[in-house]
Amino acid sequence: MNDEIKYSSSLPKHSFQEASELCTICGADIAIIVFSPGKKVLSFGHPRVESIVDRFLTRNPPSSSGTLQLVEAHCNARVEEQIEMNLTASSLI
């Protein structure tokens, strides 16, 4: 029982740290809501839990930000590069 309590109290802290890193590195919008065995509600959100939950419930996509546009451009460039490599490889066969 004691290990379960220790685990349940450290899990949200670790999850929040990982979520924070993901937001920083990738510019992700994240909301985490945790209900503890002691009936406490813990939350983490970037930019805010309320805005993420509202967007999820109303099924509205996130507004385009500069960071999001850069990530999408990078992903598109990688996809185009991979397609070009596949076309080149298939023409050699």
Supply the pLDDT for residue 66.
66
Same domain, yes or no: 47 and 68: no
Report pTM.
0.50
Q: How confident is the model at residue 23 (pLDDT cuts 50, 70, 90)?
A: confident
Q: What is the pLDDT of residues 33-92, one digit of tens each?
A: 988 888 888 898 988 899 888 888 888 766 666 666 777 777 778 778 888 877 787 776
Same domain, yes or no: 41 and 73: no
Supply the pLDDT for residue 18.
86
Cα–Cα distance for residue pair 14/19, rounded to 1 Å: 9
Supply the pLDDT for residue 2.
57
- Cβ contact 37:5 at 8 Å: yes
Overall domain count for the chain: 2
Same domain, yes or no: 52 and 74: no
